[in-house]
Chain A
Amino acid sequence: MAQIVEIRWHGRGGQGAKTAALLLADAALSLGKYIQAFPEYGPERMGAPVQAFNRLSDEPILVHCGITNPQIVAVLDQTLMASVDVAHGLPDSGQLIVNTSKTPQAIRQELGLKGAHIFTVDASAIAQDKIGRDIPNTPLLGALVKVTGLFDITMLLHDTEVKLKKKFASKPEIIKGNLEAIKTAYDTVQGKGKE
């Protein structure tokens, strides 16, 4: 069976978990990869816990069921961790990336998690600073690309620019802000996995 990377995104309705999954898939597609990006199926409610998923592979992806054991989990909102088991199904070798100002050690303690590699990045602060709004999904993408090494950051920046240009043709400052946010998160993500 082809090697498939599986990713789960946790966020709240409106934070852009689904968009993050779509942007990541789109960037991977530009690299010639096979992709899947899908939201947790069901009614969407602003503020409620939501999930989105990715599968990435060099070979065609045939499987069409949910993802229960992702290698990578990205958390867009740290307050979710009080009510959602964000590390569910994550193997000891897995990677957990959290949007928070806290350190990986602090998150490990909070979750009482023994296995997995934990990384943190203050994606909300970066988004406030660079985009002017707390939209942590694009900076978190930058952090994810850094810690997973899935692909080159310049590829992600280029692809996001192309994608956002279509959506925000009349607001170039949003595009610039997003690209800067991705780059900053890429540079400032904390954790080596074995804190």
Chain B
Amino acid sequence: MKKALLNFFERIEPDKEKQPFLHTLYDGFFTFAFTPNFTTKGGVHIRDGMDLKRTMVHVVLALQLCYLFGTWNIGHQHFAALGMYTGYLEALHLKIAYGLIKLIPIFVVTHVVGLGIEFYYAYKKGHGIEEGFLVSGALIPLIMPPDIPLWILAISVAFAVWIGKEAFGGTGMNVLNIALLSRVFIFFAYPTFISGDEVWIAGLEKVDTSYVSEAYGWGAGFFDWIFSGVGWSTFGEGGVPVVDGYSGATPLSLAFQGGWDNVTQAYSEGAMLWGTIPGSIGETSKPLIILGALFLILTGIASWRIMVSMIFGAATMALILNAWGATPFMEVPWYFQFYMGSFLFAMAFMATDPVTASSTSTGKWIYGFLIGFIGMIVRVMNPAYPEGWMLAILFMNVFAPLIDHYVLQANINRRMKRAKVAAVS
């Protein structure tokens, strides 16, 4: 099997001189399957199979549970809003099919745009394709609302990869987190598509059309054909109205209006924990995110220091706000703050990005703590933004090099002092 794959790759290898762009592409995909066949010489090197590509793939693996759940949740939220199939396992096939109809275009557009730019620059600069975009490309669909227009998505991804990464010199050089940069771009450039109560549930404005293909998109006919063949329920004729009084508000906006009681009237604590609530595609299910986070910690990809200190920072600020208690949102008990919003997703996959976080151990504690602290301030006190982690992480990304600088300087000073003491005595 391995031999056959290697043979296949050798057979299709394009000529490096004649077709440089094709060779760059080839090289990128070849190193997915095999580690490169050369070793570095001279100097000190880490001898380990764990290269950049392997590291990235681990993060993508950790995200798979979120993808699975997100796919189902898109469909579940959609049908729940219509008052159909409210049981969790009812019409599972329809929910997953609808999730795929929504998720696949987002995923494809993200990758075509992002990888396209990446491939082009790898070819232009004459280095191998770096897999930085694999992780960003896996993260971006998860932090988008399911109904995001694809052209906006394409612009935001292009902005993030171009300005946020390639301008800085490519993978591993970016200062701000690419996935968050693309989201923040939409957030400020097209705010109506990514905030408010209506955007978190897929396909609501189109459900009244009586043509199923218009309400459910390109795949519905195809899936209906399969499902009717097997004898399962189908998407039907469309034209089902939204349930009366359905708002689609997320727990955070409810909490902002009326505190914790207002939230629990709409969603049970269990639903918030397991994530059967409206939200960005991948951020709702807390246990699955925690599993992913544990996987990242065990494989040593993500820093547990950042995660722990971020929880600590958020809890500290929430306790301060509890004590202050000026608005209903501030009076939400601090432990319930973790039930709402995307805190865990940001903590597990965004803040721990090894490129943009602080790289010193002491720095990581400071960095994580301040993200938790500032994010909670933005979430609770800033009426303009419903959720704070995206902006708090970007804010601390800006300061991460500064934290590192002073941590390093303190280390140098301490050792200089020790050296001087030793020299004197």
Do the two chains bind?
no
Chain A residues within CB distance 8 Å of chain B = none
